[in-house]
Structure 1
Amino acid sequence: MSDQPPFHIASTTFHHLLAARGLTVDRLRADTALRLFQTFADVRFESPVSPSSDGLRYAVARGEHAGHPAVALVLARRFGVRRPGGGTERHVEFRCTLWFADTPDLADLPEHEEWWFRGGAEERDMAGWFDSLSARPEWAVLRWRRPVAVDVSHVEL
């Protein structure tokens, strides 16, 4: 039995970290969300021991929110769910998505997605990965912008 908390309390853990900073989801901005997510990423949760069972995903994508064009900043953590006999049965993803109105100053913002995985031979330094994200070109535009909405959810994959 692992002494690490189960992945299904990830959302609760994220909200506790948020509250400890005196924040609520609706007060998150991109910079605050990324720093909070880095703290959240440091929390170890129970998951199968495999390189793809605890991963972080960062994405900037275009889409629609509430029927309007929007840019989404997605901070996600994917957890492997143990199979009764061992190994990974499926994945669950915790997501914090910040939605920004697609204004003219965001028109040239490139879509981007990248992953970081805990474990495995090619594991990069997590702090360095977060530093590289905050140095990306979208941060000059999104860093202090107020999103039109923030969604926090668990998704079965």
Structure 2
Amino acid sequence: MKHAIAAAGEIASRLVEARDHDEPALAWLVEAARELSFVEFDVPEEADADGWLFQYGPVSWLPEPTFVVSVVRQLEVVDADGEHESYVQVQLEVRYDVDDDLAAVGPHSQWWFPGGGTSFDEWLDDVSRAAVWAGLESRSPRDRVAVEDAV
């Protein structure tokens, strides 16, 4: 059954709430993304209508300085005529207090779309091997959340 895109944020939030927040951050994020990948949404049949983004870096939109590691699912929203209207992005985030070491890491982003020659599982394996995780292993996340945005 395909779910309405409008339900994506709620579905992701339920997945996040059900996961063990004592689990190591890497495993938590990768497995939450894997679980979300099993949910089908009512998107157009085009390859770029349902994509994924792995990103990390210092952010300035939160009240305190924060370093965020996230896996984002981007879903295309179309109007009644099937024309592109917008995207909904559901972000699975692990948030850390930022310090000089994390600030120096800088931003990174890596997209994945179906049909690009790499399977989702292979891409997710690459995410789990990203160098950023070595610098985060000994740190405790401040928060683990699901966030929905329209872009």
| Matched residue SS, 2:105 | coil
Q: Distance in 1 between matches of 2:147 and 2:50?
A: 17
Q: How many residues are matched? A: 150
Query: What percentage of residue pairs aligned between the two structures are identical?
Result: 21
Gaps (5+ residues) in structure 1? none
Could you report, residue by residue, the CA deviation over 1:54-82 in whole angstroms, capped at 9, with x for unpaired residues? 011110111234233x2111221111112
Residues 70 and 94, structure 2, Cα contact 8 Å, conserved in 1: yes
What amino acid is the match of 2:48?
S
What is the CA–CA distance in structure 1 between the aligned matches of 2:88 and 2:63, rounded to whole Å? 25
- Structure 1 position 66 matched with structure 2 position 63: yes
- Match 2:125 to one of 128, 131, 146: 131
The ranges of structure 1 where at least 4 consecutive aligned residues each deviate by more than 3 angstroms after the TM superposition are 18-21
The answer (yes or no) to whether the contact 2:12–2:90 under 8 Å persists in 1 is: no
Paired with 1:20 and 1:148, the residues of 2 have a C-alpha distance of 18
User: Normalising to structure 2: TM-score of the pair?
Assistant: 0.83
Q: 1:142 aligns with which of 132, 136, 146?
A: 136
Q: Deviations over 1:105-142 (max 9, x none)?
A: 43543421011113x4x242000000011111111122
Mean CA deviation greater in 96-105 or 57-66: 96-105
| Mapped contact 1:30–1:145 kept (Cα < 8 A) | no
Counterpart pick for 1:9 among 7, 16, 25:
7
Alignment of 1:1-157 (within 5 A): 3-21=1-19, 23=20, 29-64=25-60, 65-68=62-65, 70-118=66-114, 120=115, 122-143=116-137, 145-157=139-151
Structure 2 unaligned blocks of 5 or more = none
TM-score of the aligned structures, taking structure 1 as reference length = 0.80
C-alpha contact 1:29 1:144 (8 A) present in aligned 2: no
* Separation (CA, whole Å) in 2 of partners of 1:146 and 1:7: 32
Cα distance in 2 for residues equivalent to 1:143 and 1:8: 34
1:6 Cα deviation after fit = 1.0
* Shift in alpha-carbon separation, 1:27–1:139, aligned structure 2, 3 A: closer
